[in-house]
Amino acid sequence: MRLSRYFLPVLKETPSEAQIVSHRYMLRAGMIKQASAGIYSWLPLGFKVLRKIEDIVHQEQARAGHIAMLMPTLQSADLWRESGRYDDYGAEMLRMSDRHGRDMLYGPTNEELITDIFRSHVGSYKDLPLTLYHVQWKFRDEIRPRFGVMRGREFLMKDGYNFDLTKEDALHAYNRHLVSYLRTYERMGLQAIPMRADSGPIGGDDTHEFLVLAETGESEVFYDSQITDLKFGDREIDFDSHEQCQAVLEEFTSRYARTDETHDETLFNQIPEERRRTARGIEVGQIFYFGTKYSEPMGATVQDSDGNKVPVHMGSHGIGVSRLLGAIIEASHDDKGIIWPEGVTPFHAGIVNLKQGDAEADAACEALYASLTALGLEPLYDDRNERAGGKFATMDLIGLPWRITVGPRGLKNGVVELTSRRTGESEELAPEQAVERIAAIYKKVLPGS
Amino acid sequence: MRLSRYFLPVLKETPSEAQIVSHRYMLRAGMIKQASAGIYSWLPLGFKVLRKIEDIVHQEQARAGHIAMLMPTLQSADLWRESGRYDDYGAEMLRMSDRHGRDMLYGPTNEELITDIFRSHVGSYKDLPLTLYHVQWKFRDEIRPRFGVMRGREFLMKDGYNFDLTKEDALHAYNRHLVSYLRTYERMGLQAIPMRADSGPIGGDDTHEFLVLAETGESEVFYDSQITDLKFGDREIDFDSHEQCQAVLEEFTSRYARTDETHDETLFNQIPEERRRTARGIEVGQIFYFGTKYSEPMGATVQDSDGNKVPVHMGSHGIGVSRLLGAIIEASHDDKGIIWPEGVTPFHAGIVNLKQGDAEADAACEALYASLTALGLEPLYDDRNERAGGKFATMDLIGLPWRITVGPRGLKNGVVELTSRRTGESEELAPEQAVERIAAIYKKVLPGS
């Protein structure tokens, strides 16, 4: 993309309404614009990152064998009356009536709707196990929406639902989701720690939240410092294997890690003192096993191998897709702006032309642009007639991990400058070497490689 | 995908509520399930096609130089009061109040919101031309939703908005959209004819609708038969060239083609009688030029090169993404089921194992599955323990364009059977040849090739 043809409305001043760094930078980098309280338009740069995060979620769900579908945003109130949650949900649920006076609501979650789909179409244990998920906009009418996309009212969430014949199978689905989520977050450059949590209005006994450590997190968290040394990495795993998934669960959850909701001071104090940590965390996902809580009242049963009708065992599993943009920025930024991890960066590299209009510099930039594009990478070329200082400030603010700077002086020596946004280190090298270097870096993070 | 692990709830019986063939087949093929009147869940097979159509729209928008973003589904009523449309829009607009009593609505279209974004961020003619678009769920509270996704209430639409300094530039944007839409629909296997239309509540003088001819279309259309001979094909076009885009517009709109809303009997009768056609059509898109209708009341101005503040010239341009699934099926089916065009098919080929459990047949199917997958294609392998007749009926119903049938008898002679869903013709050939044939077919339709 050429910046002269893009829509990147960066702000020089810090908007006064933004209290946390991710909100400030998302506004300043022209990623979002508030449409009304807690509701945002995703400007082109923000939308690109949102889409990358969504793509990673889809790819990792497919890897785990989960099936993508899409439920609508609006639901009939009747289903929620059946489960008993229509009255329970309170003022956070946005309710409305259609032109015929039928009660409807903007879905805050989808247990009822998916259970209805299941009971309408599945009747036999032979069709299990089954995990269906979607990535869809939800609405929760927060009384005080704030922190930008971190606590918005209209937000994008991945929610998945497993249907299993037995509790054992359902707990495998739970473990499989935990493994899949570890991979998912790591691909986004995040360390998200599974912590024992409280189930809230979803219900159920087994639940873990995934928390990203960040000073601005809304939860206080308590953990054994050994946990931050764990990496899932690129290990191969058979998602059908109960043993392999169980082993990962044990590895990642056997050490103490809890939010303030479930914190147990006595257990915490059993950790050697030098490993006890208190910090703040941002919740980016949660998994639940809740057994037959919805399948029993809603009649979601299957015939087992003996011909008996039994309610299925279920769980639900969520990733806060739009909130992740905020979480990633909270975890990865400096005082100049955002620092995108390679896995989610909106553009793979920036090209800064120090002397727009100089024939040689223009040609070198065009050649870099063409080479990167031919490799399947997306460069952002700042081809505006602006001063170098302004171009650098924009690139630093929007946080592309790699920048190639092209100027007449370097070109005389046959070199351009390759700069890492994270370390700030620069290196002079031939243009084709810069392209090779960037290609090699992304070969590790792009899907299918 | 292996069918034994997929969620494909095909129905044997025709649902009584479905009056048109696309609705019947989408229900029977397990693509959608009604959640409430005019609101659908997209089951896995339906979601896959929806995503493919959305991807084609994104790719062709990018090709035309339009910039993707995303506006929220819910909007504040205030903006619509500013444009004067809040009261005009009537009962089709779904209105609600949030917990603080603020008036909100589920966006039926986005002229107000995009104009607000534009006026907040753009101030100079140097930032023009600019076309922003998104693909987002809309809601229109149809009094009698029917025909499945063809006339639903919650529907997915691409809507784009151009901002230009002059009327001439804005008309170029109009032409550019027309060209881009011709390419978009052809990639989906559709012939969509641009017809002079009525602007309705959007406003403006220049507008064309794109109609797909189909017996079940809601509009009566009148056209010169020469128009159906026109093909955009894979011609190269410079979307920046006013002349090239204008030439395409003239080529595709100079012959008579109108809906009943704008039909002119006198003009129609000037066509030689043997070329006059009356038919029915399904609207799948519309483009508008409406000048300063929104920019003037909402203050969306830029400074021109003389320093004068002038309101920008705008247009809006829509593609009915979810409705397209219905339109494609109406245009492409037979009495056994859907016939997907290669550009949007949910899976590229079906593999039918005639004797599941036979070691040789199973191995041959697995090898085909692996080869197709390695080529970047997605096969659907019917690995269920079912009779051949049932497997064929399912494949015909869900309409994959190519089917490979594998059985012990053919394998003895070293062959499998490759069948075209469209022609019904079959050919025996070696498994690797079947794979090559399918790869060659898709090489022409897949992006980037």
* Residue B199, both tokens: 């602007």
Cβ(A407)–Cβ(A28) below 8 Å? no
Distance from CA of A177 to the nearest CA of B (A): 17
Q: What pLDDT does residue A447 have?
A: 62
Q: What pLDDT does residue B91 have?
A: 93
| Contact residues for A241 (Cβ-Cβ < 8 A; gap 6+) | none
Tens digit of each residue's pLDDT (9 = 90 or more) over A7-34 = 999 998 888 888 899 999 999 999 999 9
Distance from CA of A10 to the nearest CA of B (A): 9
How many angstroms separate the CA atoms of A346 and A331, rounded? 17
Q: What pLDDT does residue B446 have?
A: 67
Mean pLDDT of A58-85: 96
Q: What pLDDT does residue A256 have?
A: 95
Give the closest of A92, A117, A154 to B41, CB-based.
A117
Q: Is the pLDDT of residue A415 over 70?
A: yes
Q: Is the pLDDT of residue A449 over 60?
A: no
Q: Quick one: CA torsion of A262, A263, A265, A268, rounded to 10 degrees?
A: 120
What's the CATH architecture for A349-443? 3-Layer(aba) Sandwich (3.40)
Cβ(A129)–Cβ(A162) below 8 Å? yes
* β B349-353/B402-406 pair status: parallel
Is the torsion defined by CA of B319, B325, B327, B328 positive or negative? positive
The segments of chain B whose pLDDT lies below 50 read 448-449
| Amino acid occupying residue B409 | R
Q: What pLDDT does residue B202 have?
A: 59
Q: Which residues in B lie closer than 8 A to residue A46 (C-beta atoms)?
A: 69
Whether residues A41 and B113 touch (CB distance < 8 A) is answered with yes
Whether residues B41 and A132 touch (CB distance < 8 A) is answered with no
Mutation to test the A interface, candidates B31, B36, B102, B113, most A Cβ within 10 Å: B36
Whether residues B99 and A117 touch (CB distance < 8 A) is answered with no
Other C-beta atoms lying within 10 Å of the C-beta of residue A275: 13
Q: How far is CA B105 from CA A96, A106, B76, in A?
A: 10, 12, 6
Of B268, B250, B209, B255, give the one whose Cα is nearest residue B228.
B255
Q: What pLDDT does residue A206 have?
A: 85
For tokens 């004797």, the residue is B355
- Which residue in B has a C-alpha nearest to residue A154's C-alpha? B72
Q: Is the pLDDT of residue A140 over 60?
A: yes
Of B247, B245, B253, give the one whose Cα is nearest residue B226.
B253
Q: What pLDDT does residue A234 have?
A: 87
Tens digit of each residue's pLDDT (9 = 90 or more) over A51-66 = 999 999 999 999 999 9
Mean pLDDT of A255-260: 94
Whether residues B99 and A121 touch (CB distance < 8 A) is answered with no
Q: What pLDDT does residue A432 have?
A: 98
Cβ(B435)–Cβ(B371) below 8 Å? yes
Tens digit of each residue's pLDDT (9 = 90 or more) over A325-380 = 999 999 999 999 999 999 999 999 999 999 999 999 999 999 999 999 999 999 99
Mutation to test the A interface, candidates B59, B95, B98, most A Cβ within 10 Å: B98
Chain B CB within 8 Å of residue A55 CB = no
Mean pLDDT of A75-91: 92
| Amino acid occupying residue A447 | P
CATH code for residues B3-338:
3.30.930.10
Q: What pLDDT does residue A202 have?
A: 59
Name which of A134-143, A144-153, B98-107 the model is least confident about.
Answer: A144-153
Q: Is the pLDDT of residue A195 over 70?
A: yes
Mutation to test the B interface, candidates A1, A41, A53, most B Cβ within 10 Å: A41
Q: Is the pLDDT of residue A198 over 80?
A: no
Q: What pLDDT does residue B14 have?
A: 85
Any bridge partners for residue B369, and if so which?
Answer: none
Other C-beta atoms lying within 10 Å of the C-beta of residue B144: 8
Mutation to test the B interface, candidates A71, A93, A139, most B Cβ within 10 Å: A71
Cβ(B256)–Cβ(B268) below 8 Å? yes
How many angstroms separate the CA atoms of A45 and A32, rounded? 8
3-state secondary structure of A21: helix
Whether residues A36 and B113 touch (CB distance < 8 A) is answered with no
> Binning pLDDT at 50, 70 and 90, where does residue A199 land?
low
Mean pLDDT of A233-237: 92
Q: What pLDDT does residue B150 have?
A: 93
Give residue limits of the domains in chain A.
Answer: 3-338, 349-443
Q: Specify whether the backbone of A221 is left (phi greater than 0), alpha (psi in -120 to 50) or beta.
A: beta
- Which residue in B has a C-alpha nearest to residue A136's C-alpha? B137
| Contact residues for B134 (Cβ-Cβ < 8 A; gap 6+) | A47, B68, B69, B70, B71, B110, B158, B159, B160
* Residue A149, both tokens: 């996309």
Q: Which residues in B lie closer than 8 A to residue A75 (C-beta atoms)?
A: 35-36, 39
- Which residue in B has a C-alpha nearest to residue A373's C-alpha? B448
